[in-house]
């Protein structure tokens, strides 16, 4: 867990090095960058509660059910023995409310409102609670960028104004949709991800990537897709 915490802290530091001054308004956006709302750069969908009188099953099935209480692992959420499962009969009712590897989920109910995680490969196809929303099908951003941006907002008090209710805080989907987001140009986004990889585990990656890109764009695609496979990142 300590290693994961250090990796996450490193990724967050790289994000802030690249983008914090622009989000704070201290610097004007460079040419080719733009501002948008979160709903402009990804799809935001709700989860689904179990149908009335339906319950979890005691056996392990192919349908794990993601709840807020499962969001304790840090950045990436993977299947553990703590997960509950639903049967085929229940899945038939809520089959349209699933998550895919690389989706981002955000808790929207209770004291944990604003908690965020990226769905890992072991939860690809899992069902999602109504107490979370998923962000998927990114356009111009990645799961890594979105995760670090959201954590930047939390760190700087940017989530609190989005909450409604006192006794039982809620984070309405329409408030998430209207969150402003900066979309950097493709080259900056590439360099940002390469910097994250370089400072975490791949010290030679930037030079290797530039070499691969010069020799073969397809090789560069394979390299970056392999490293950022959970983020669904593509050049």
Give the C-alpha separation, 186 to 215, whole Å.
19
* CA separation, residue 92 to residues 39, 50, 57, 70, 97 (Å): 28, 11, 14, 23, 11
Give the C-alpha separation, 2 to 143, whole Å.
22
Q: Which residue has the higher pLDDT, 62 or 232?
A: 62
The crossing angle, in degrees rounded to 10, of helices 143-155 and 2-23 is 80
> Residues 8-64: pLDDT tens digits?
888 899 999 999 999 999 999 999 999 999 999 999 999 999 999 899 999 999 999
Contact 121, 228 (CB under 8 A): no
Q: Is 109 helix (H, G, I), strand (E, B) or coil?
A: strand
> Residues 183-193: pLDDT tens digits?
999 999 999 98
Annotate 154-183 with DSSP letters as a single string: HHTT-SGGG-B-SSS-B--HHHHHT-EEEE
pLDDT at 4: 58
> Residues 133-190: pLDDT tens digits?
999 999 999 999 999 999 999 999 999 999 998 788 999 999 999 999 999 999 999 9
* Predicted TM-score of the model (pTM): 0.84
pLDDT of residue 207 exceeding 70? no
All structural domains of the chain with their residue ranges: 2-184
Give the C-alpha separation, 154 to 226, whole Å.
29
CATH fit for domain 2-184, picks 3.30.9.80, 3.40.309.10, 3.90.220.20, 3.30.230.70:
3.90.220.20
pLDDT at 84: 97
């Amino acid at each position: 867990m300590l290693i994961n915490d250090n990796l996450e802290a490193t990724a967050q530091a790289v994000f802030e090095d690249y983008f914090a001054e622009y989000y704070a308004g201290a610097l004007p956006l460079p040419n080719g960058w733009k501002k948008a709302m979160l709903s402009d750069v990804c799809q935001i969908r709700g989860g689904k509660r179990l149908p009335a009188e339906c319950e979890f099953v005691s056996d392990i099935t192919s349908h794990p059910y993601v709840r807020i209480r499962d969001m304790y692992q840090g950045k990436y959420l993977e299947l553990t023995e703590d997960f509950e499962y639903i049967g085929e009969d229940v899945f038939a009712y809520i089959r349209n409310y699933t998550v895919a590897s690389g989706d981002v989920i955000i808790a929207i109910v209770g004291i944990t409102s604003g908690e965020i995680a990226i769905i890992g490969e072991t939860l690809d196809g899992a069902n999602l609670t109504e107490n979370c929303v998923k962000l998927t099908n990114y356009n111009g951003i990645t799961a890594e960028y979105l995760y670090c941006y959201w954590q930047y907002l939390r760190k700087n008090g940017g989530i609190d104004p989005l909450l409604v209710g006192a006794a039982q805080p809620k984070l309405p989907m329409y408030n998430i949709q209207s969150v402003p987001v900066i979309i950097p140009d493709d080259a900056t986004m590439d360099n940002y991800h390469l910097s994250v990889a370089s400072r975490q585990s791949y010290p030679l990656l930037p030079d290797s990537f530039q070499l691969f890109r010069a020799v073969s764009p397809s090789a560069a695609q394979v390299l970056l897709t392999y490293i950022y496979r959970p983020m669904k990142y593509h050049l």
